[in-house]
Amino acid sequence: MEFTAEQIAGILEGEVLGNPEAKVSKLAKIEEGVDGALTFLANPKYTPYIYTTKASVTIVNRDFVPEKEITTTLIKVDDAYKSFSKLLEYYNQVKNNKVGIENPSFKAETATHGENVYLGAFSYLGENVVLGENVKVYPHAYIGDNTTVGDNVTIFSGAKIYSETVIGNGCIINSGAIIGADGFGYAPDEKGEFQKVPQTGNVILEDNVEIGAAATIDRATLGSTILRRGVKIDNQVQIAHNVDIGSHTVIAAQTGIAGSTKIGEYCMFGGQVGVAGHLTIGNNIKVQAQTGIGHRVKDGEKLYGSPAIDYGNYVKSYVHFKNLPKIVSQLNKLEKKINNNE
């Protein structure tokens, strides 16, 4: 796709300084800009590159004033970073604006869908599936029986949505994600052998939830596993059965949340965090990478370590952890001195 500087300025409500007919068809970092590329300048430390970049068009803040000659066409906006992000979103919408039903694909007779739907080749819609408007189902995606999908949802190639799942409006399911597989439920019998506990619940994703590639979200044993409005899940995250994640919480890659744990709103989890089951995690929690949580957490805490402790206390304690051999040596010398004086 190709856009002119004037067209881009129209989308961003910006002002063109330079050639309004300058054309761009790709994106680039400002230091790697080439002819035909669009870039942006938001961080002042990259300012020197604007005088050497070969990019055809550069988005800048309105208060930017060149100190010497530049060759790139400028588009001045209120916030260059936000405007570039807006443009990326617009570009994705245009790029992914697929419609129609490709063959071969399978749609059960009882499955229904709204307008402007895209079903890619080898996609599968089971019995009683309901798709809203502007839903994109990419090739090789699977949607099981009795699943409901809202409007403006994108399900990328290879995603698997098991039966009875409920997906709200504006959700994104990335490739390889598995929504609604059985939870890890087993009980030992009289011989000590583990027998499977049927998982009869479902998964509910509220509006504007995003699920990363190869993430797994298990169906509930009874009731629902719920990811509430605006939750963002990174790649390769495991969410177990009956977990409830509060709105606008974000969870980074390789984190694992054990069954029946309730996580509050506006939390931030770093990568490889482990959370034990049947816990209550408060609102506005910040958890550093590789932290292990095995206890209830109150609102507003910052955690680090395994088992997790207050972040500030961890940082202070770590100074002593590093100096532990030296401290032990000093204690041994002090003990020896005391013993010699007795």
Point out the residues that are catalytic: 241
Q: How far apart are CA 147 and CA 138, in angstroms?
A: 16
Q: If we measure between CA atoms, which residue out of 224, 310, 308 comes closest to residue 260?
A: 224
Helix (H) or strand (E) holding 167: strand 166-167
Q: How far apart are CA 277 and CA 244, in angstroms?
A: 11
Residue 73 one-letter amino acid: T
Q: If we measure between CA atoms, which residue out of 77, 5, 68 comes closest to residue 41?
A: 77
Question: Which stretches within the chain are classed as H helix?
Answer: 5-12, 80-95, 311-322, 324-341
- The three-class DSSP label of residue 50 is helix
Q: How far apart are CA 151 and CA 174, in angstroms?
A: 16
CA 87 to chain centroid, in Å, comes to: 19
Give the pair of three-digit tokens for residue 115: 């307008």
Give the pair of three-digit tokens for residue 291: 């932290």
Q: How far apart are CA 116 and CA 136, in angstroms?
A: 9
